[in-house]
Structure 1
Amino acid sequence: MKKILIFLAAILQVHSQLLEINVDVEIQQPEESPEQSPGQLPEPLPAQLTEDGRLNFVALANKYGFQASEESIITEDGYILSLFHIHGNPCKPMLLIHGNTGTGDCWIVRGNNSLAITLARRGYDVWVANQRGSRYSRKHIFLDPDLQPEKFFNFTFYELAVYDMPPVIDFILQETGQEQLTAIGWSVGTTQLYVLGAEKPEYNDKIKLAVSLAPISVLQNLRGLVKWAAAIGPEGLELFKLANVQELISFHQTAPALQAICLQPGGYELCFQILFFSVFGYDPDGLEPEFQNTLYGHFPGGSSRKLFSHLVQVIKRNKFAKYDYGFERNLIVYNSTEPPEFDLRKVTMKSALFMGKEDFLGTVADAELLKGLLPNVVHYQVLPYEKFNHIDFVWGRYAPDNFQPYLMEVLDKYE
């Protein structure tokens, strides 16, 4: 634990130094220099990053042999979402939904072995969501995330599900001419599917099959660092609130700190061995040191303080419920002193659940509880690879062998 605290302190120190150094540069320079290729991510990027660490989603899809594009979706409450599209058979629309602090890049950072490319190779019309407030969807029709953070980042996974998912799904179905699509969610991406099905039951019929990778809803059996962090989470998040820090783990602030620390000699031991494996589960074979030189060109993507607070509430209150504003505000918002729980019995879409034995967040024990709450679980599988952890689903080096074949079998069955 001491090593973890030292590492987090180092990130904060580098992060603050980078902010001090880069203030003038960010004001004076345009977002992309004229010399920059349209397929590259905004400079400056450290020399240690690989080519794949420098390319954006569309350019990565092109590199691995597929036509891709980017669409903009405007939500009911004014957020402008980026939706990536790898063009395939419009009769087989597939929506990928990333987890908290990630972006749609998570589905393609493993290049030729990534799930997005694997699905495209099998003819799927692949659509990749980017949640509000993340790196690619940090836009709004009138709110400025930098000048109005309290308003812009006033959302949790509830808003991601109820306001972001419907227009994304409707757009895909309209573009493909289909009545249903298949959806794959990872981590908090699965949470969005459950909340969507519970709060907007009509969308159950628009999803042919909902695949949950490392499902997150019931959070009674966490392991590792997060279990410890949840105990002090409310107090820590309240400090962020008092300091009016509404955006957490953003790309433009946190990624430079991670690049400065993790891409140096000994960085793998600090970043993966000490931090990531303590949070997500231990799998050094599946997440090799060289992968960092691609990863930190794409991760993290950013999130809101309120979303983290909501997850901590679910853990502390032991209830999968709406955001708890406190006694008085709950009466105004919900007409009840307690926030209502999400009714998972309304999530009637066919659901397939995949878990890893070494997953510290989406634990097998919690998935067992979730299985008993969802009314239409058609597939439930704990992957056989003993060290399969939370991030192996999207970052794992051996996912083409120890995960993807099992997924494809299920997709083929319900196609």
Structure 2
Amino acid sequence: MLLRLEDVSSIVLIILEQFVSFVTFLLPERLILFFTRVVKFIFSRFKTNDINYNRFLVKDKLQDDKLLQRIEDLRSAASFKELCELNNFKVQNHLIQTTDGYLLTAHRLNPELNGFKPNGQIAYFQHGLLMSSEIWVLMNDKDLNLPFRLCEMGYDVFLGNNRGNKYSNKHVSLSTSDPKFWDFSIDEFAMYDIPCTIDYILSYTNSKSLTYIGFSQGCSQILASVSINKDLNSKISKLILIAPATTPKRLCNWLINSIVNFKPSLLFLLFGKKILMKSTLFWQRIMYPPFFIKMIDLPNKILFDWRSENITNIQKIICYFHLYSTTSVKSVVHWFQIIRSKKFQMYHDSNIFNAFEYPTSTSIAIPDILLIYGMSDSLVDITQMLDHVPLKSSKMTVIGVEKYEHLDLIWGKNTEYYVLDNVFKFLNESET
């Protein structure tokens, strides 16, 4: 395979990041603390229009400020349970074994346990790529977290986690040090994780159906899963798709477009066959928080042309520290195949046979669907997206939000108006 100049540049940058991570890991803690103080001093010189963020930059003792202490508590929370407790919610953890042996954690917000009257309805949330269940409960304003609001309304709320992330990294026989543990893609999420989780929830609650709420890849997973498990149609009464991605547009930067075109063998050589971007956890731990959010905003701008102007800096301080969770390299290789082919297809490793496309357009028959997307989101091709859902068998409401990008729809300044209110309206209308 002949490599172009941009391909060589991409490979060099990937290797450079891994080298810098390794060297930084070897540095003594005192030296890292010194660099942190220098960065903090530099950041404190530059004020913004966000008063609370400016206070965060100059405060040495955050505990003296109730708001900033809450921001710091949410930022540094180590678990989903801790995030819920900071918002005065009690959570239960459920362990779900898939038919291929993975142990998944689903969190449950039981309305009765939290002092609310149950309404007999189930809501199941599923996160996106390189994420965990934590993404749903990170808004500083408690009332802007959709799972909490639905629990208050009486919904029995469950939040799922994909195999391989921080809450689902066990298997009945495989260790996480075994490459076989990480041999999964979107196919396994669709064939095992989603149907096993839904069946567990319905069996545990003795319910016939539930409302599914997905973000990003969480939308792709349910569409793929229903297309190959047709009985799921009767188990999902309402489907809510937030920033759905099935066949993303071609990405915005030569670097990522170059990497997308790499053969799987080269990608596995560069990233290994286990965890993708594991170094993110290291940088997250040692970086000064305002500097870390800049290091997230910058690649988001370069790779996806996201400006992140609808998310406040103080909200980013919380959210960006919970944005990343582990997944397999193969999952991302699968997405690259989808982007390159412009088809919502299963993982393809054959030079003989054509890739198998998920039969979404002929297999989905969920009665009520709500789709909310950002009109400035480079990852969502709404035309292609609508082709995957058959309008003949489903009633669909499509809402496009102007000047909103991918992450804006869960953490943006006006999510109450653009997302929560529309979700509540949809749920109320479909129940009447």
Inter-CA distance 375–202: structure 2 relative to 1 (3 Å threshold): same
Deviation per residue, 1:145-188 (Å, 9 max, x gap): 12x0x201111111001111122111111222210000011111
Unaligned stretches of 5+ residues in structure 2 = 1-5, 29-68, 112-117
| Matching residue within 329, 338, 344 for 1:314 | 338
Asked if the contact 1:82/1:136 (under 8 Å) is kept, the reply is: yes
| Matching residue within 133, 138, 149 for 1:109 | 138
| Matching residue within 341, 357, 370 for 2:388 | 370
Q: CA deviation at 1:222?
A: 3.6
Asked if the contact 1:283/1:387 (under 8 Å) is kept, the reply is: no
* Distance in 1 separating the partners of 2:301 and 2:125: 24
Asked if the contact 1:214/1:363 (under 8 Å) is kept, the reply is: no
Instruction: Quote the residue 1:388 is aligned against.
Output: 404
1:52 maps to a residue whose letter is L
Instruction: Quote the residue 1:60 is aligned against.
Output: 83
Q: TM-score, normalised by structure 1?
A: 0.81
Instruction: Quote the residue 1:263 is aligned against.
Output: 289
1:173 maps to a residue whose letter is L
* Distance in 2 separating the partners of 1:281 and 1:400: 24
| Matching residue within 315, 326, 332 for 1:302 | 326
* Distance in 2 separating the partners of 1:365 and 1:182: 24
- How does 1:208-247 map onto structure 2 within 5 Å? 208-219=237-248, 221-225=249-253, 229-235=256-262, 238-242=265-269, 245-247=272-274
Inter-CA distance 340–59: structure 2 relative to 1 (3 Å threshold): same
Inter-CA distance 352–255: structure 2 relative to 1 (3 Å threshold): same
Partner SS state of residue 83, structure 1: strand
* Distance in 2 separating the partners of 1:78 and 1:246: 19
Asked if the contact 2:244/2:385 (under 8 Å) is kept, the reply is: yes
* Distance in 1 separating the partners of 2:131 and 2:16: 22
Asked if the contact 1:222/1:363 (under 8 Å) is kept, the reply is: no
Inter-CA distance 369–201: structure 2 relative to 1 (3 Å threshold): closer
Q: TM-score, normalised by structure 2?
A: 0.78
> Does residue 164 of structure 1 match 2:193?
yes
Asked if the contact 1:281/1:358 (under 8 Å) is kept, the reply is: no
Partner SS state of residue 53, structure 1: helix
* Distance in 1 separating the partners of 2:288 and 2:311: 14
1:275 maps to a residue whose letter is P
Asked if the contact 2:251/2:257 (under 8 Å) is kept, the reply is: no
Partner SS state of residue 151, structure 1: helix
Asked if the contact 2:21/2:279 (under 8 Å) is kept, the reply is: yes
Asked if the contact 2:290/2:317 (under 8 Å) is kept, the reply is: no
Inter-CA distance 343–368: structure 2 relative to 1 (3 Å threshold): closer
Asked if the contact 2:346/2:357 (under 8 Å) is kept, the reply is: yes
CA RMSD of aligned residues (A): 2.9
Unaligned stretches of 5+ residues in structure 1 = 23-46, 329-336
* Distance in 2 separating the partners of 1:192 and 1:381: 19
* Distance in 2 separating the partners of 1:318 and 1:201: 24
Deviation per residue, 1:12-67 (Å, 9 max, x gap): 45532455569xxxxxxxxxxxxxxxxxxxxxxxx998101222212222322322
2:334 maps to a residue whose letter is H
* Distance in 1 separating the partners of 2:16 and 2:245: 30
* Distance in 1 separating the partners of 2:322 and 2:363: 36
Deviation per residue, 1:119-162 (Å, 9 max, x gap): 2222211100010011111111111112x0x2011111110011
Deviation per residue, 1:317-367 (Å, 9 max, x gap): 222221111225xxxxxxxx1122111111111332211111110233433
1:311 maps to a residue whose letter is W
Q: CA deviation at 1:110?
A: 1.3
Instruction: Quote the residue 2:375 is aligned against.
Output: 357
Inter-CA distance 200–180: structure 2 relative to 1 (3 Å threshold): same
Instruction: Quote the residue 1:16 is aligned against.
Output: 22
Asked if the contact 1:356/1:363 (under 8 Å) is kept, the reply is: no
* Distance in 2 separating the partners of 1:241 and 1:18: 24
Partner SS state of residue 410, structure 1: helix
- How does 1:130-209 map onto structure 2 within 5 Å? 130-146=161-177, 148=178, 150-209=179-238
